[in-house]
Each structure stands twice: as C-alpha cells, then as structure tokens.
C-alpha cells in the first residue's frame, strides 16, 4: 500500500509539473558585482503564448518583481532590480526577460587593501520564487530548483567557472557564470564565494594620484607669481 501511494504521488507530481509549465525554462546569470540575468521561456504552447502576448500578461517587470516580492514577503528589503527588458519571438514562441539584481540581501564583500583583493559572497536564493503568469501557466521554482547550488555541476572553461543544473522533469535548466578574473572560488550551500582584484573608487585613486601634488605646486607657483607682481 505504501509503495502504491508513493508511486501515485510521484506520478501526480510529474503530471502537475508538466501541466503547470507547458514550456521549457532556461535561467542564465552572469555574476560580477551583481547578477545579470536572462530568463528564457521557450516552446510555449501556441494558445498560451498568444494569450500572454496579446493581453500583456508578461511585461519587463513581471519576473524581477516576482523575485523582489518573494524577498519582501520574507522581510528582506535589501534587493533591487534594474535594466529590465522583455523580448517576444513569435517564430520560436519564446519570451526573454532580461534584468539585473543587486543589494545586500544577495551580495556583500570585504576588502583586503593590503593584498588589493575584494572577496564577494553572492547569495543565489533569489532563484527560488513562485511565478504565476496566467491560469495553468505557473512555475514554483522553490520546488523545482530546490537542489543547493553547492551540489550543481561545476566546471571551468577558458578561465570562466560556471555552475549548472537541470531538472528534466520540469524542463528547467540553470547556468550561473563567474567572471574570468574570479579566483579562490567556493560554493557553500546557496552562496558562491570568490576573490576579485580590488578596484579603488575614483576618489581614492585621485587622492593617491601625483596629479594633486602637481596641481598644488601649480597653484603655489601662481600665487607666488601674483604676489611678486603685486609687490
């Protein structure tokens, strides 16, 4: 009896996932000081695609706002999205939602000025959210992408390290890519930790620049010249 119930539950879950998705999903995130994300819905059923496009059910705000609202509902307000856009492709019946995420809820860093190194800690929990576009077309990424990032496939190609994961049952795949200058990369749970060369802000560069000394000497020279003229 227990085996029958377990089998029925598995079949029901599979049917639920397929019925609710009705499309393949690809999430690609390029990680620097923030997350630059491309969220792709492809091979959408024709009637659903036409309904979404005709009635404006998805806009440039739809996906990033769902992520933002998920954080707010958890009492986390240190997240913002920007540079968001959306593109529809009628030939492939696909939708590309592009946006960036940043804020203390998903990233923080520490600086070792002596070594000129900045250590980043990037939280990838943002990918776990619920997206409801229209009736029968929804995605529960909290369940679909439950596997911790530290258990994803890690590989390095031409100095670029990436973490990838796919859920074949739900038709969802993820690819998170680090910059080619990232080093000492570690994945712990849902957090990616890496080092990057520290780039001082322009104010620090200006203060430490010999230009200020030259400007100061020039000003002193002008003052001395003016003083002699006045005398």
Domain span including residue 206: 201-231
Are 40 and 110 in a shared domain?
A: yes
pLDDT in tens, 57-80: 999 999 999 999 999 999 999 999
> Mean pLDDT throughout 10-28?
60
Are 127 and 206 in a shared domain?
A: no
Are 119 and 190 in a shared domain?
A: yes
Are 132 and 157 in a shared domain?
A: yes
pLDDT in tens, 195-205: 999 987 544 44
Helix (H) or strand (E) holding 205: helix 202-207
Are 36 and 119 in a shared domain?
A: yes
Q: What is the mean pLDDT of the chain?
A: 86
pTM of full prediction above 0.85: no
Q: State both tokens at 63.
A: 């996906």
Residues 6+ apart with CB under 8 A from 6: none
Cα separation, 174 vs 139, in Å, equals: 14
Helices (H) and strands (E) in the chain, counts: 6, 13
Are 78 and 107 in a shared domain?
A: yes
Are 141 and 220 in a shared domain?
A: no
Long-range Cβ pairs for the range 145-148 (8 Å, 24+): 145/172, 145/174, 148/189, 148/190
Cα separation, 14 vs 169, in Å, equals: 7
Which 3 state secondary structure label does DSSP give 35?
A: strand
pLDDT at 26 over 90: yes
Between 116 and 208, whose confidence is greater? 116
Which has the closest alpha carbon to 45: 160, 129, 137, 172? 137
């Amino acid at each position: 009896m227990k085996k029958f119930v377990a089998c029925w539950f598995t079949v029901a879950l599979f049917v639920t996932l397929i019925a609710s998705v009705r499309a393949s999903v690809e999430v690609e995130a390029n990680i620097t000081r923030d997350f630059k994300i491309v969220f792709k819905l492809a091979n959408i059923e024709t009637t659903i695609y036409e309904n979404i496009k005709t009635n404006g059910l998805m806009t440039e705000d739809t996906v990033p706002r769902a992520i933002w609202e998920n954080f707010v509902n958890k009492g986390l307000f240190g997240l913002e999205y920007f540079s968001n856009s959306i593109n529809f492709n009628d030939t492939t019946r696909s939708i590309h939602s592009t946006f960036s995420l940043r804020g203390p809820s998903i990233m923080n860093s520490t600086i070792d000025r002596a070594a000129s190194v900045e250590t980043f800690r990037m939280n990838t929990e943002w990918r776990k959210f619920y997206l409801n576009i229209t009736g029968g077309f929804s995605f529960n990424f909290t369940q679909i992408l439950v596997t911790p990032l530290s258990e994803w496939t890690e590989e390095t190609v031409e100095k670029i390290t990436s973490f990838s994961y796919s859920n074949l049952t739900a038709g969802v795949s993820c690819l998170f890519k680090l910059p080619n200058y990232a080093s000492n990369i570690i994945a712990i749970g849902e957090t990616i930790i890496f080092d990057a060369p520290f780039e001082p802000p322009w104010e620090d560069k200006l203060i430490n620049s010999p230009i200020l000394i030259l400007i100061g000497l020039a000003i002193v020279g002008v003052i001395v010249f003016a003083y002699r003229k006045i005398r």
